[in-house]
Amino acid sequence: MADIGDVVEIIVTSMRDSFLAVTVFVAVMVFLFSWLQYATSGRFVEYIRERKKLQPVIGALMGLTPGCGGAIVMMPMYARGYVTYGTVIATLIATLGDSAFVLIGAAVTDSSFIAPLIAVHVISFIVGVTWGYLVDICGITPLKPLGRFGPTFVQDEPQNQPKVESPLDDLSREIPEGLGYSILHKGYVVWWAVTLIGLVFAILLLVWSGQDADYSLELAYNPLTMDGFITWIGLLGATLSIVLYIAQKNWFADDTEATIGDKLHSMRETMVHAASETAFVTFWVMIAYLVFEFMLLFSGLSEQDMAQYGDGLIAVMVASIIGLIPGCGPQIIAITAYTKDIISFPALAANAISQDGDALFPLLVRHKAASLWATIHTTIPAILAGIILLIADVNF
């Protein structure tokens, strides 16, 4: 029977580890890709319209970039008829959203995750491009979901939209309002300061030990000791991340058209939303840690016992179904399950292909039929790919 000490230990450990083992490394990656988006101002997407034959490849490459920014940018382009429906499918299949950062963070701290990190991206890209071209060749669209082999539905989407010089002009901007906005835009400086301190210690611990450190909880409440100081940095960083997560008021999604629009026009907004996006990842990783640890504590099962349920056809099907849920939160839990050896690589790949990240939200607003059919058109190849990997016994 678990006592209060076990519960407190799990909470402290989960908060500390989610920040020091994931957040500090994810923050660097998020900022890097956010800065690249800002530095280029997304100009390269304006050339996509003129290259119809390469659009599924370009869409898959946009989706392949960590985070949801590249995929979100593609959605207004489809709504205006600049890219094909196959391009949308290729983009959504290739994207891992913010869960990609979890896998990248795991690879930074444990080299054994480098191979699956590369493999899942390569598989997602190949499946995305192949399926995207197949969709276009078969004439599949939201109005003809079975292509040339099925009926055509009546168009109920608005056709007349104001002209814009660039598809990027279609991206909305945030309107400053409310307490949440104020907290996010003032608290990000403190969050970055704590994160940078945490990054320094996380790197030093990796250099010294070559593996995740095992901090002493007996000294966790004494900040004058090394163990205590590191633990308090982790707790403070995790707490600040929770505050930023609540402030942004997006429970399952972090990237929106407004945040992407802001990041493409302002370096300050790039810093703000990089902090917000990382805080979002931190919160869901922490939730995943808590779920797994409490399951082990109260069920009496070991991680090896849980892993038995994460392999096989059922795991692939469940991972694909989880991918149907819009937003990155549930997907982060699924990817975290892989980093804890709870689910198999075929299940990981199935989830990666099925999930659409945050990109489904702007598509849902602009083209409801396309968003609803896209979830189906990305889940089918996810299940097929997962089964093929399962039969081939591909695992890492």
324 in any annotated domain: no
Domains held by the chain: number: 1
Q: How confident is the model over 134-193, as pLDDT tens digits?
A: 999 988 888 777 777 666 665 544 444 555 555 555 555 555 555 555 676 777 888 899
Those residues whose C-beta lies under 8 Å from the C-beta of residue 212, and which sit 6 or more positions away, are 17, 21, 109, 110, 205
Residue 307 lies in a domain: no
Asked if residue 388 is part of any domain, the answer here is: no
| Residues spanned by the domain of 72 | 4-300
Q: Give tens-digit pLDDT for 193-202.
A: 999 998 888 8
86-112 pLDDT tens trace: 999 999 999 888 888 888 888 888 888
In a domain, residue 358? The reply is no
C-alpha span between 329 and 310 (Å, rounded): 19
Residue 142 lies in a domain: yes
Domain annotation covers residue 215: yes
Residue 88 lies in a domain: yes
45: closest CA among 80, 6, 8? 80
> What average pLDDT score do residues 272-287 get?
83
Residue 265 lies in a domain: yes
Interval 49-62 mean pLDDT: 85
Residue in 37, 38, 136, 22 with CA at minimum distance from that of residue 90: 136
pTM of the model: 0.76
